[in-house]
Amino acid sequence: MNDQLIQRLTIDWSKIEEDSYLRNIEALQGVECMEFTHSITFFVGENGSGKSTLLEAIAVAYGFNPEGGTKNYCFSTYDSHSELYAALRLSKGYRRAKGGYFLRAESFYNVATQEELYADPNHPSERYHEKSHGESFLAIARSRLSPGGVYLLDEPEAALSPQRQLTLLMEIWHCAQQGAQFLIVTHSPILLGIPGADILTFDNGPVHSCSYEETDSYQITELFINHRQEILRRLIGE
């Protein structure tokens, strides 16, 4: 039985302009439906393969601000999101989400600024600008992630050291075990190692599932660690 908060998405391509760049995204061509049956789903693939474009569309269709934050965030510094969200229909489960957050590494500065403007005596600011980038990301994980919520994370490892990625891994795992759902775009072989997650690759044709060991993040990292000198010699002559 699928008891996820977001269970399925369908794409109505008739709502996408014929000359839209979205029709040229190989990973999405011919894709009309995607199922989410795991509490943690990863989107992986090369830069420009459509991962973040789809995650952003899901976030906006679900009611999040395109630049990030909770559903209560309503601001815009630059309207750059695609039309894909308007063509999506999300099928939700019987459970009602208890909170949620959309984290985008590239626009987090804007969200952190807005968070300070939204603060009041009853909801004091986390003062993300006074923390390092990595500390801010972990502060969000510790204050915003909770059981039963929906969390869309776009490259959450961007500001984190390997050690802090392990900390984030634990936070995600514990919340997922208590009913939260995560859709995560990542290149991190550490985060991808979370057991029981579904990994969807945007490489080599339409979106499809793959194993941890089949991801480029794993294969290239393993190759470099085990054959560092040979690879460096071939790349830079060292």
**What is the tens place of the pLDDT at every residue in 94-107?**
999 998 989 887 76
Instruction: Give the chain's domains with CATH numbers.
Output: 6-211 (3.40.50.300)
pLDDT, tens digit, 9 for 90 and up, residues 51-77: 999 999 999 999 998 888 777 666 555
Helices (H), the chain: 51-62, 84-87, 108-118, 133-144, 162-177, 216-226, 228-236
Strands 6-11 and 88-92 come out as antiparallel
pLDDT at position 183, please? Answer: 98
* Cβ neighbour number for residue 24 with a 10 Å cutoff: 10
230: left (phi over 0), alpha (psi -120 to 50) or beta: alpha
> What integer pLDDT is reported at residue 125 of this predicted model?
63
Q: d(Cα 143, Cα 112) in Å, to the nearest integer?
A: 14
Q: What is the pLDDT along the chain (238 residues), one digit of tens a residue?
A: 789 999 999 999 999 999 999 999 999 998 999 999 999 999 999 999 999 999 999 999 999 988 887 776 665 556 666 789 999 999 999 999 998 989 887 766 666 666 666 666 677 666 767 677 778 878 888 888 899 999 999 999 988 999 999 999 999 999 999 999 999 999 999 999 999 999 999 999 999 999 999 999 999 999 999 999 999 999 998 6
What is the Cα–Cα distance from 122 to 39, expressed in whole angstroms? 32
CB–CB of 85/10 below 8 Å? no
Q: Which residue has the tokens 């044709």?
A: 205
pLDDT at 77: 58
Q: What is the CA radius of gyration of the chain?
A: 18
Alpha carbon dihedral 204, 216, 155, 211, in 10-degree steps, equals 80
With 0-12 CB in 10 A as exposed, 13-18 as middle and 19+ as buried, what is 188? buried
